[in-house]
Amino acid sequence: MTRFKSLKTLWQAWTRRFDEAAAELPLIGAWFRPKWSIVIAHGDGRFTMPDGAGGEVPLSAEQLRQLGRQKRICLRLDRDLGQQRGIVLPLAARDDPAGAIALSAEQYFPFPGDDTAFAVADGVRPAGEGHGLFQVSFARRSLLQKVYEQARAAGLAPRAVDVIGTDPLAPVSIDLLSGTRAGGGNSASQLLLALSAVLLAIALVNGAFSALVLAPQAERLQAAARPGTADQALVQKKAKAAAPSVLAIWRAATHALPDSAYAQYLLYEKGHLRLAGKADDAADLVNLVEAQPLFHDTSFAAASIKDAQGKESFDLLTRVGKGRAP
């Protein structure tokens, strides 16, 4: 078995089990379960339908024509036309039991290999260590084809053919015509695959939209923001270059004070200098500070008070501007 065929077999086995599990779910399981109309074919050419009570109802020619309008009909062969039997196989063959049976068909069926139609039902029962019991339906292919043509002539269009068992209304799971599962219903695995494909397509479209539309727009916005940022930085740089240095302000303040005065603190903030301390004549300090090129609009921020030693307090506020430092 080639690698591709092995993967295909594993995929088919997984989807079959997934669909079967989905069909058993409460509420939504009915949407995934196949819906079949079952017609029983007899060896004498009659066609009947199960009546739900273990019996059968004969079908007239008109009833057969009416049934022919339905999309999913299973033609179920009676025991004169087809048979069922259990075949024991190694559990290693459970993913492809039909392939394992086909290799030794002559030991399982009474008909020639080229005239044997068979299909393996879903599910396997334990049959000893390392083995499983598989339920197989089979019929003579030539006879099966004859009955199928009779059904077509009566107005039916069977989508699957299987063999009657203990329950005439048993779920349809195999098709002797193709030798595979009968299918039917809505496939949960196909729905999941389609949903995954849609989500993948949405993700790809979203990624392409981001790459082709959003990314260029973001780049344009960033490019538009960069000059403003550069301009603001340039303005701040120019303002910093134009403002006097702290050292220049300190030197100008110390030059303004006479030897008889001293500063207790200096505070420079937002272009203004606050200078406070003691002096022999506080009133003269306004003119001395104004005489410095860096200082303008000098005034007292608080009243001057003379202490016991005869010193007057001063608290001056002056604006620091452009000028030549002394």
Taking only the tens place, the pLDDT of each residue in 254-292 is: 887 887 887 877 888 878 888 788 888 877 877 887 888
The rounded distance, in Å, linking the Cα atoms of 274 and 300 is 9
Is 63 found in the same domain as 204? no
The structural domain count of the chain equals 4
Is 302 found in the same domain as 281? yes
Is 156 found in the same domain as 229? no
Cα distances (angstroms) measured from residue 110 to each of 3, 82, 141: 33, 12, 12
Is 88 found in the same domain as 8? no
**CB 29, CB 19: distance < 8 Å:** no
pLDDT of amino acid 100: 92
Is 173 found in the same domain as 53? yes
Model confidence at 150: pLDDT above 60: yes
Q: Tell me if residue 293 falls in helix, strand or coil.
A: coil
The answer to whether position 283 is within a domain reads yes
Model confidence at 1: pLDDT above 60: no
Is 145 found in the same domain as 250? no
**3 vs 140 pLDDT, higher one:** 140
Model confidence at 239: pLDDT above 60: no
Model confidence at 325: pLDDT above 50: no
Model confidence at 24: pLDDT above 70: no
Average pLDDT, the chain: 82
Is 264 found in the same domain as 203? no
Mean pLDDT (whole number) for 226-245: 59
The answer to whether position 284 is within a domain reads yes
Residue 35: beta bridge partners? none
Lowest mean pLDDT across 57-61, 142-146, 316-320? 316-320
Lowest mean pLDDT across 163-167, 170-174, 293-297? 293-297
Model's pTM, two decimal places?
0.52
pLDDT band of 326, cuts 50, 70, 90 = very low
**Residue 87 CB neighbour total at 10 angstroms:** 20
Identify the CA nearest to 319 among candidates 247, 271, 257.
271
Lowest mean pLDDT across 150-154, 242-246, 248-252? 242-246
The answer to whether position 74 is within a domain reads yes
Is 261 found in the same domain as 171? no
DSSP character at residue 45: S
CATH of the domain at 292: 3.30.1360.100
pLDDT of amino acid 237: 61
Is 215 found in the same domain as 270? no
Q: What is the pLDDT of residues 25-82, one digit of tens each?
A: 777 766 666 678 899 999 999 999 998 888 899 999 999 999 888 878 999 999 999 9
pLDDT above 90 covers a percentage of the chain that reads 31
The answer to whether position 326 is within a domain reads no
Is 179 found in the same domain as 102? yes
Question: Which of these three, 144, 164, 186, is where a domain ends?
Answer: 186
**CB 63, CB 39: distance < 8 Å:** no
pLDDT of amino acid 75: 95
Question: Which of these three, 142, 167, 186, is where a domain ends?
Answer: 186
Question: Which of these three, 162, 186, 210, is where a domain ends?
Answer: 186
Model confidence at 241: pLDDT above 80: no
pLDDT of amino acid 172: 87
**240 vs 180 pLDDT, higher one:** 180
Is 136 found in the same domain as 85? yes
What is the secondary structure of 55-102 as a DSSP string?
-EEE--HHHHHHHTTSS-EEEEE-TTTEEEEEEEEEGGGTTSHHHHHH
pLDDT of amino acid 316: 77
**14 vs 232 pLDDT, higher one:** 14
The answer to whether position 268 is within a domain reads yes
Model confidence at 132: pLDDT above 50: yes
Length of the chain: 326
Is 148 found in the same domain as 57? yes
What is the secondary structure of 260-286 as a DSSP string?
T-EEEEEEEETTEEEEEEEES-TTHHH
Name the residue type at position 252: A
Residues 6+ apart with CB under 8 A from 29: 22, 23
Instruction: Give the phi and the psi of residue 103 in degrees, each rounded to 5.
Output: -70, -25
The answer to whether position 24 is within a domain reads yes
The answer to whether position 147 is within a domain reads yes
Helix (H) or strand (E) holding 118: strand 116-120
Q: Write out the residue range of the structural domain in which residue 153 sits.
A: 34-186
pLDDT band of 236, cuts 50, 70, 90 = low
Cα distances (angstroms) measured from residue 107 to each of 87, 110, 113: 10, 8, 10
Lowest mean pLDDT across 5-9, 148-152, 307-311? 5-9
The rounded distance, in Å, linking the Cα atoms of 42 and 19 is 32
Cα distances (angstroms) measured from residue 9 to each of 16, 91, 92: 11, 15, 13
The rounded distance, in Å, linking the Cα atoms of 165 and 282 is 123
The answer to whether position 325 is within a domain reads no
HSE-CB at 272 with a 13 A cutoff on CA atoms is: 10
